[in-house]
Structure 1
């Protein structure tokens, strides 16, 4: 993943990313008496790290983005945050919980086993791994339209995300020594802020495919994509993103 974040804009216009993560907290077994040491993997600005700390966990937030870590440290100076790569991290001692929201789809498919190996190594026996990511079909309309418009402007469109099925990701978890206990793939059409909500969504989250595109063509492609999707993703004065989420829980095997 090579993503640069505008943390202020992210918090102001796309707070739904971590706000929806509050529902994911319900999958955590709070009756587990083995311990309360946890990691928020891909913690972003630290909002959910703080929520986990409020549940009684001794949390460490980890993120690859220096901008997000700086924002998290500013927001919650009482908590511990570390800049590190999710595909290459270690802990001094096993932890009881690893939590992650809206992160793993940013990691390339061929790097997923490395990340899951780190997770398994960091968890104690029967430690909880609770996460949500983009699932199969996530933002399909948006990415299909971007691919079409890129082609019209003479550019290839390389899909920048990994959106697996339940079966595909369950297999990766099992191979890493993690036992699946819960899995669901579900649609979550998500309202976007502002009259240009979809254009701003593309600017925030779809950076890598545009690295080869001129600034003039970039803006034209974004506008054309939004125009073409208006009939499908703009309803009653509100733009929507066609999210599909994969939510899972696994436990560390021996």
Structure 2
């Protein structure tokens, strides 16, 4: 069973820095008036709203129903959908795909990238920010150490992240 454990109110209260830091990625994307943009992992909608304010037509998609419900509450005039990046069914519909602090949660990156590429119009842009190799290594090492000390089985598969190297 896949339970939605994201608490949207807590996220906005304690982790709003994620969206604030994402402003630089919005600038890198350089959305143009009238472009269709897909915001993957839109969370509570703050960056999708920034894209909209720059003139883009934005659809926000997030796997968490809790996050999407909060986004719809905050920005009712915008389009937000519950969906999994690995199951997107769009075909050449977007001028750009944008993602901030999301793709490191996807453990099947090849499938995600295939779906993203399929979503883009020919010549479309993909701009993303996500954690890279070693991002939370100190934390995961300590969790593994504590599991070992307390005789608890702990495997890499139990961690929800994928942090690739540049290669």
Shorter-chain TM-score above 0.5: yes
Deviation at 1:5, TM superposition (A): 0.6
1:71-117: CA deviations, max 9, x gaps?
00000001001111110112265210100011111111xx2111111
What's the RMSD between the two structures over aligned residues?
1.8
Listed as ranges, the gaps of 5+ residues in structure 1 are 168-254
SS of equivalent to 1:19: helix
User: Which residue is equivalent to 2:8?
Assistant: 7
Deviation at 1:142, TM superposition (A): 1.1
Listed as ranges, the gaps of 5+ residues in structure 2 are none
Aligned length: 163
Asked if 1 retains the 8 angstrom alpha-carbon contact of 2:59 and 2:79, the reply is: yes
User: Which residue is equivalent to 1:149?
Assistant: 146
TM-score norm. by structure 2 comes to 0.91
Deviation at 1:143, TM superposition (A): 1.1
1:156-189: CA deviations, max 9, x gaps?
233321100112xxxxxxxxxxxxxxxxxxxxxx
Asked if 1 retains the 8 angstrom alpha-carbon contact of 2:31 and 2:51, the reply is: no
- Greater Rg over alpha carbons, structure: 1
User: Which residue is equivalent to 1:16?
Assistant: 17
TM-score norm. by structure 1 comes to 0.61
Distance 2:147 2:4 in 1: 20
1:70-219 paired onto structure 2 within 5 Å: 70-91=69-90, 94-108=93-107, 111-159=108-156, 160=159, 161-167=161-167
